[in-house]
Amino acid sequence: MADRRAVIMGAGITGVLVARELLLAGWEVTVLEAKHVGAGSSSRTAAGIRQQFSTPGTVRGMRYSVGFYQRFAEEVEDGTCPIVQNGYLFLHADQRRWEQAKQTAAMQRDAGLTEVEVLEHADLRARFPWVGPEAALGATHCPTDGFLLPHLVYNEGARRVRELGGALLQTAPVTEATLQADRVVAVKTPKGTFEGDLFVDCTNAWTHRLAAILDAQPLEVCPYKRYIWFLQRDGPMTAQQLSTMPLTITPQGTYVRPENEDTLMMGRKHVAEPELGFAYEDQDHIDTRFSHSGGVDAWPFELWMELSEVVPSVAEFAGIQATTGGYYAETPDHNPFLGYDRQRANLVRLVGFSGHGAMMGPFTAKIALSLCEAGADVDSVEVDGAAVSLDAFRIGRDLSKRERMVI
Ligand SMILES: Cc1cc2nc3c(=O)[nH]c(=O)nc-3n(C[C@H](O)[C@H](O)[C@H](O)COP(=O)(O)OP(=O)(O)OC[C@H]3O[C@@H](n4cnc5c(N)ncnc54)[C@H](O)[C@@H]3O)c2cc1C
């Protein structure tokens, strides 16, 4: 096993799926988690999964992720499939954006997403009659997209890591490191010191702090608070209609999806300040302006009213029942950093997932295995027989070219 001992820091969706992938390839793996499995954004996510992206490489990568999550049902102890393929519907009300969306759908089809559909207004209304008549010019829809059951991914992922012979320690924050020349030799936690040949940073929103401990490169990853709200069904929308709804993005940028047959999840990015030093408890802190109990002047009520213009039956829902919060670890171009650190030669960084780390998890794990096996950055990985360039994820890339389809 010499040279193949990996120490993975962070046990969210990324950390456990990377650990599983390395174990299956014969690596000896130790996962160190500061709190508990899923303590970060993996347990606070809307967990939407879509293949509708603006670059062919990401479309192919997310296609791989969808296939992985379907197959992962075989590894879940009770066989539950962790992906709910209700589809993903992007509504468009602006003519210029709608034309652009149709061109993007053509590119997605060329990249292998053959099932993506362009629904002009009449088709949209026929397929999804709950969309208001004036709400959109049209929509793109991909029926194999949807959302994940994130707890199944990280909990069953962690169970698989142990089943495959990996060590996974909780309440084991990395607090110090032994460094030699440009390499990490060992990391220290309250549960012991762990040596490795390779170290993998899966701490996402905490990556700045880990980088300081490892004297690694500070990356452009900023934590921003994000909220999700839960609305209770009432009025004419039936349980059947709600539970089969695709994840829907309104022209204004609000996203909604069923949480269960009586509850609609709603989210929307707001203008926020970066919070580099946030505490674990801050994830659960709900600012009154963003709380379901913040009164009718609070933002979620404004969003609920706005949503009612797009999905009129939602106006008759019983109310907003709950709010949850977490952090996006955002990069300037909304793509993660997946590659070797420039200061620590045996440190792989897999961080900065912005709003799409849950869906990227399997693709990230595939890339991580290539990186670990190569011992250096790689130009591409093979997905379904096609080479997918990793330029968009390279550390040190030009950050001015942004992923356009971000939520
Ligand atoms: C409101 C919201 C909505 C979202 N919606 C979506 C969506 O629709 N689709 C999607 O794909 N993604 C979505 N995301 C993003 C997604 O949840 C994340 O990108 C993903 O969960 C990242 O997983 P991770 O494992 O990389 O990071 P995390 O789950 O944050 O895990 C990092 C782990 O590192 C641990 N850690 C930190 N420091 C140390 C240390 N020193 N030593 C050891 N361990 C340490 C933490 O305790 C934590 O458990 C959303 C996020 C939020 C907050």
Calculate how far, in angstroms, residue 181's C-alpha sits from the geometric centre of ligand 1.
31
Mutate to test the pocket of ligand 1, among 8, 53, 203, 269 (most ligand atoms within 8 A of CB): 203
**Measured in angstroms, how far is the CA atom of residue 42 from the centroid of ligand 1?**
4
Q: What is the pLDDT of residue 1?
A: 55
Query: How remote is the CA of residue 13 from the centroid of ligand 1, in Å?
Result: 7
pTM of the model: 0.97
The answer for residues whose C-beta is within 8 angstroms of residue 85's C-beta and 6 or more apart is 66, 143, 144, 145, 146
The candidate with the shortest Cα–Cα distance to 257, out of 12, 101, 45, 404, is 45
Q: Residue type at 78?
A: D
Q: What is the pLDDT of residue 37?
A: 98
**What does the pLDDT read at residue 39?**
98
Identify the DSSP state of 218.
Answer: P
| Ligand 1 centroid – CA 138 distance (Å) | 33
* Pocket residues: Cβ below 6 A from ligand 1: 9-15, 32-35, 39-42, 44-48, 173-174, 202-206, 210, 226, 228, 267, 326-328, 353, 355-359
| Residue 377: CB atoms within 10 Å | 16
Q: How many CA atoms lie within 13 A of 293 on its CB side?
A: 5
Q: Are 187 and 194 in contact (CB under 8 A)?
A: yes
Residue 215 neighbours by CB under 8 Å, 6+ apart: 177, 179, 343, 344
Q: What is the Å distance from ligand 1's center to 110 Cα?
A: 31
The number of the ligand 1 atom at minimal distance from the alpha carbon of 351 is: 26
Terminal Cα-to-Cα distance of the chain (whole angstroms): 42
Identity of the amino acid at 310: V
Q: Whose CA is nearest to atom 21 of ligand 1?
A: 42
CB 307 within 8 A of CB 250: yes
Q: Which tokens sit at 71?
A: 């197959």
pLDDT of residue 384: 85
Annotate 103-122 with b (16+ C-beta within 10 A) or e (fewer). ebbeebeebbbeebbbbebe
Please name the amino acid found at residue 132.
G
Nearest atom of ligand 1 to the alpha carbon of 35:
47
- Say which residues have a Cβ less than 8 Å from residue 97's Cβ, sequence separation at least 6: none
What is the DSSP secondary structure assignment for residue 271, as one 8-state letter?
-
228: β partners: 267, 324
Partnered with residue 57 across adjacent β-strands are none
As a whole number of angstroms, the distance between CA 21 and CA 37 comes to 17
- For ligand 1, the distance from its centroid to the CA atom of residue 18, given in whole angstroms, is 14
pLDDT of residue 2: 58
From CA 321, how far away is CA 247, in angstroms rounded? 19
Looking at ligand 1, which residue's alpha carbon is closest to its atom 3?
45
Ligand 1 atom showing the smallest separation from residue 202 Cα: 26
Q: What pLDDT is attached to residue 306?
A: 97
Query: Residue 305 CA to chain centroid, in angstroms?
Result: 27
Ligand 1 atom at minimal distance to the Cα of residue 350? 26
Q: How far does Cα 401 stand from its chain's mean position?
A: 20
Distance 278 CA to ligand 1 centre (A): 14
> Distance between CA atoms of 326 and 329, rounded to whole angstroms?
10
Distance 395 CA to ligand 1 centre (A): 19
pLDDT in tens, the chain (407 residues): 558 999 999 999 999 999 999 999 999 999 999 999 999 999 999 999 999 999 899 999 999 999 999 999 999 999 999 999 999 999 999 999 999 999 999 999 999 999 999 999 999 999 999 999 999 999 999 999 999 999 999 999 999 999 999 999 999 999 999 999 999 999 999 999 999 999 999 999 999 999 999 999 999 999 999 999 999 999 999 999 999 999 999 999 999 999 999 999 999 999 999 999 999 999 999 999 999 999 989 999 999 999 999 999 999 999 999 999 999 999 999 999 999 999 999 999 999 999 999 999 999 999 999 999 999 999 999 998 889 999 999 999 998 877 666 77
| β-bridge mates for residue 324, sequence order | 228
Q: Using DSSP, how many helices (H) and how many strands (E) does the chain show?
A: 9, 22
Residue whose pair of structure tokens reads 């955002």 in the numeric block? 330
Q: How far is the CA of 245 from the centre of ligand 1 (A)?
A: 26
- Return d(Cα 239, Cα 10) in angstroms, integer: 38
Alpha carbon distance 236, 242 (integer Å): 11
Atom of ligand 1 nearest to the CA of 213: 41
Q: If you take atom 31 of ligand 1, which residue's CA is the nearest one?
A: 12
